Structure 1
Amino acid sequence: MQQKQSKKQGKQGEKFTILFPYLIALSSGILMGLTVAPVGVWFLAWLSLAPLWVLVIRSAQRKNLSSSASSAPPASPALLPLSLAWGIGYHGIALSWITGVHPMTWMGVPWLASLAIALFCWIFITLWGAALVASWAIGMRVISRSIHNGFVRVLIGTALWCGLEALWSAGPLWWSSLSYTQSPHNLIILHLGQLSGPSAVTAAIVAVNGLIAEALVNRRGAEYTEEKIKFFSALSASGRFVYLSTAAALFITLHLIGFSLYSRPLAQPPETALKVGIIQGNVPNEIKLYPEGFRRAIQGYTTGYLKLANQSVDAVLTPEGALPFFQDAIIRSSMVAAVREKGVVAWIGGFYKQGSSYTNSLFTVAGDGEIKSRYGKAKMVPIGEYVPFESILGGIVSRLSPLDEHQVPGSSNQVFDTPFGRAIVGICYESAFSGQFRRQAAAGGQFILSPSNDAHYSAAMPSQHHAQDIMRAIETDRWAVRATNTGYSAFVNPHGKTVWISGHNTYEVHAETIYRRQTQTLYVRWGDWLTLLLLGAGTLAWLIPKAD
């Protein structure tokens, strides 16, 4: 009886031993997920990647042993499930707000079908993010077969992660870069974005985690390699200290660099001042496209505009799709009539019709009531605003389109001229694409306008959206004005400080003075040069030992 119990306990212990690495990977991924807004435990980002790094390198080392040792090495956890577990933990937690699209019964989608769509979107985008992590892990295993120097592995691992983020962000589906784990709380490190965009922050996080991991990898090396292969011998205590002290020195140095950029005084000449008002209409999506929603939108935005005009603002910004009509109906609206009466410029979110298609747009309506410029949203939300593989899937999800016509993206090289100079525009989802803002800043954009509508989701989503806009303001060294339908609307200065922020699910009208700027950060001038430099240096570091 005792023998049976012992065997049973032994099997349970073996199962736990097998599952333990996956639990470690999943748990550390979840910890990374807690770093983003609204939880914002940002400092965990500097530690939460290290466990996965250790597991990946140990897995590669055991793989090497299995092909060179005469006796079987300890069982190695499967690399793909390990990396996917970490990626699912991170992206699943960080992007859990996606489920807020349910229920979509107001759009005519049945309750169960709505739940299925919400879960599919969450699972798909989580796995898409996890695929990046899995690609990195596979790459690290490949390089670990020939690279046994921890510092070189840190260089290559950092380059690989930054390269993969650049690749993913070039596609249509992007949001959760490691860099946004530091926003909005760690403004000092976010100033590295002025040097090379979000990749500079991502590289800092990955490198520090890698150095910590390499100390742990070498600390445990002797457990499995004793007298089997020389390059797997454990580092001495002083060797481990080198990795940890380098990690600490890098962390401190990078924050000092960020602090030096953060501490620069903002030049704000009076002649560059611009008093801007925002209107947060708080029109629920459930009624937005119905007569009651139209009535509330016209009344709320007209009333808000008149109130702000009486406060002597220079311009008024409304959210994405504030007036959910085509341009002709917008011109005939009571709000534009108020513009003609008061003569204050209004930036109005609406739709621009192009034949049988339309573009989600922001219009500049001048004091004479005429449209002087337009920006069309270039980065559209997959499924939500357009249907990938429309010939196959169009009939299935056609109800997700708010209008009978098909939404199309705006041009990728637009500029948005206003009576106050050129502006940078990012409509809602575009806030995640730093390149959109960099290009417009390089083309002469002097301030950021960010009209958005996050009404489908809980407060977690607009918190992250605000965090994205903070990063864009810092990277381009521009003031940002954020007007949303239901929150959080805000004014952000070029150092990422939130001067004012609205409540959530509230109707609000507010005005602040911003300043037009023509500076150009290194990132605006040169783009993401750091990723290219890291990839080049990493490639050389990988190839040189092979040449020997």
Structure 2
Amino acid sequence: MAENRRLVWIGALLGGLLAGVALPPLGCPPLLWIALLPQWGFGPGPAALWAGTAVLLSHRWLLWLHPLDWVGVPLPLSLPLCVLLWLLLGLLGAGLVALWRALVGRLGPGRWSVALLASALWGLGEVWMAKGPLFWLGLGSVVLPGDRALAGLAQWVGAGGLAALQLLLAWGLWRLLLAWWDGRRGLWRGGLTWLLAVALLHGLGWQLLQRSSLPDPEAPWLSALVLQPDIPTREKFSWTQQRALERRLREAQAEAEAQGADLLVLPEGALALGQGLPAPGAVEVLSGGFRQEEIELRSSVLLFPPQAQEAEGAIDKHRLVPLGEWVPGGALWRWAGLSAVGGVEPGPASRLLQRPQGDVAVAICYEIADGAGLIGASRAGAGWILASANLDPYPLLLQQQFQALSQLRAIEASRWLVSSANTGPSLVVRPDGALGQALPPMHAGMLLVRFQVRSNQTPYGRWGEWPLLLTVGAGLAASRSRVRQS
């Protein structure tokens, strides 16, 4: 018995490691289906170990926050604080998944109705958490960049539906393994049915992507010059880096005008509080920066019309980075977080930036994880998506995860997405999730991209999370019916 329990815990640990590897930047659903087998077969304790391991492995970029002495944290405390933040995030993931597995165990994981209910609840949980401060990657993101065909189903069900689908496919595989272990007949028939379902899902997703890849003959095209300054955040406010940034802004304005661009796009935090453009220009500018709203400091994307040096419109960041920009009770502690600019307050939830030339859906850094927010802006009239970020000092791993989430957001809304980031990724993503032109990461540069303004709506754009909610209802109804019959 002790040996069996030891194997259960080892299996949960290995499953968590495999899940962490399967998430972006690899993005490999088959690995995740195998990794999820312990979640259906083991109890809450092993499930917690599984989740904590997966979260710690996929979010290891948090350790690159060290050193924090540039924001006032004593150097001896810097690494322990970063490790503590990393471990707390893993502990939170472990606790939530343990609660989910306890519910599954109580209802009975072997029943299809319970699998349907539990998978849909997990998917809704990811959507709900993405609206708050404590979520970055979930099972819904595992389809990218490695399985764009399956990601095409996001046009119907969004990231939450994709998460539920991964769990259901893993449940089917788990049932097949149990049947094989018990020596039941008809195993080959069940295996073929499972493989056929996987093939049909991929075929459907790929067909949806093919439709999105076709240009709309009636939709207008725009061109944008994307600037990637590559200014180290830890040195941003030094005199040398401020002069370098101002020089690059002037060069970008001149280049945008020379190339006939419709827009110049600058990354998150490119402009300091109260800072305007270095010179008036003939091209509209969308720049990350800061602004004051009464007594509150906001991180924003600022709109500069042609010939203007001061912003005449803005959209504020709503989903703040925990501990980086927002600290619970920070005002009482007199600590504004790990931000060089001090405490930042959230703006309105809407991600729609209204412009005379056409509205745009905006994700500022961490907000790229919230697909529901961007799909809401697309539903309200946004014709394309702008992702503005500053991912320094984090490693390339975080940039790759950001890129995968950008691909998923483009597919969900069937919109072109333009990403402008301080150190990368600066690129364009097509409505089918395919990557277009891109700048090399960790190098300063400029990139001219062309994209189309669209007005069509995907089924997910129209329905939102209703398919998942209806699935929860169907699972509940089937479960209660089975209970009454028994």
Shorter chain as normaliser: what TM range? Answer: over 0.9
Amino acid aligned to 1:140: V
Taking structure 1 as reference, are residues 509 and 148 closer, same or farther at Cα in structure 2, changes over 3 Å only? closer
Amino acid aligned to 2:8: P
Residue by residue over 1:521-546, the C-alpha shift from the partner in whole angstroms, topping out at 9 and shown as x without a partner, is 11111101221011101111111122
> Does residue 1:188 correspond to 2:149, yes or no?
yes
Shift of 1:271: 5.8
Shift of 1:414: 5.2
Does the residue aligned with 1:363 lie in a helix, a strand or coil?
Answer: strand
Residues 127-526 of structure 1 correspond to what in structure 2 (within 5 A)?
Answer: 127-144=91-108, 148-149=110-111, 151-220=112-181, 234=182, 236-238=184-186, 240-264=187-211, 265-269=213-217, 272-326=220-274, 329-330=275-276, 333-334=277-278, 337=279, 340=280, 342-369=281-308, 370-391=310-331, 394-395=333-334, 397-398=335-336, 400-404=338-342, 406-413=343-350, 415-526=352-463
Shift of 1:156: 2.8
Amino acid aligned to 2:296: S
Which residue is equivalent to 1:28?
A: 15
Q: Using the alignment, how far apart are the partners of 1:358 and 1:398 within structure 2? A: 11
Taking structure 1 as reference, are residues 318 and 391 closer, same or farther at Cα in structure 2, changes over 3 Å only? closer
Which residue is equivalent to 1:89?
A: 53
- Percentage of pairs with the same residue: 27
Amino acid aligned to 1:129: G
Q: Using the alignment, how far apart are the partners of 1:368 and 1:119 within structure 2? A: 47
Give yes or no for contact 2:323–2:337 (8 Å, CA) kept in 1: no
Shift of 1:270: 7.1
Shift of 1:129: 2.0
Aligned residue pairs: how many?
483
Structure 1 gap ranges (5+): 1-13, 56-78, 221-233
Q: TM-score, normalised by structure 2?
A: 0.94
Larger Rg: 1
Amino acid aligned to 1:29: G
Amino acid aligned to 2:123: C
Q: Using the alignment, how far apart are the partners of 1:148 and 1:20 within structure 2? A: 21
Q: Using the alignment, how far apart are the partners of 1:410 and 1:202 within structure 2? A: 29
Does the residue aligned with 1:237 lie in a helix, a strand or coil?
Answer: coil
Q: TM-score, normalised by structure 1?
A: 0.84
Structure 2 gap ranges (5+): none
Q: Using the alignment, how far apart are the partners of 1:487 and 1:16 within structure 2? A: 48
Q: Using the alignment, how far apart are the partners of 2:219 and 2:59 within structure 1? A: 42
Q: Using the alignment, how far apart are the partners of 2:431 and 2:422 within structure 1? A: 24
Does the residue aligned with 1:136 lie in a helix, a strand or coil?
Answer: helix
Shift of 1:391: 5.0
Tell me the C-alpha RMSD between the 2 structures.
1.9
Give yes or no for contact 1:179–1:202 (8 Å, CA) kept in 2: yes
Shift of 1:114: 1.4
Residue by residue over 1:104-139, the C-alpha shift from the partner in whole angstroms, topping out at 9 and shown as x without a partner, is 122232222111221122111122222232122111
Q: Using the alignment, how far apart are the partners of 1:491 and 1:302 within structure 2? A: 23
Does the residue aligned with 1:407 lie in a helix, a strand or coil?
Answer: coil
Q: Using the alignment, how far apart are the partners of 1:385 and 1:275 within structure 2? A: 32
Amino acid aligned to 1:104: L
Does the residue aligned with 2:299 lie in a helix, a strand or coil?
Answer: strand
Give yes or no for contact 2:282–2:307 (8 Å, CA) kept in 1: yes
Q: Using the alignment, how far apart are the partners of 2:290 and 2:121 within structure 1? A: 40
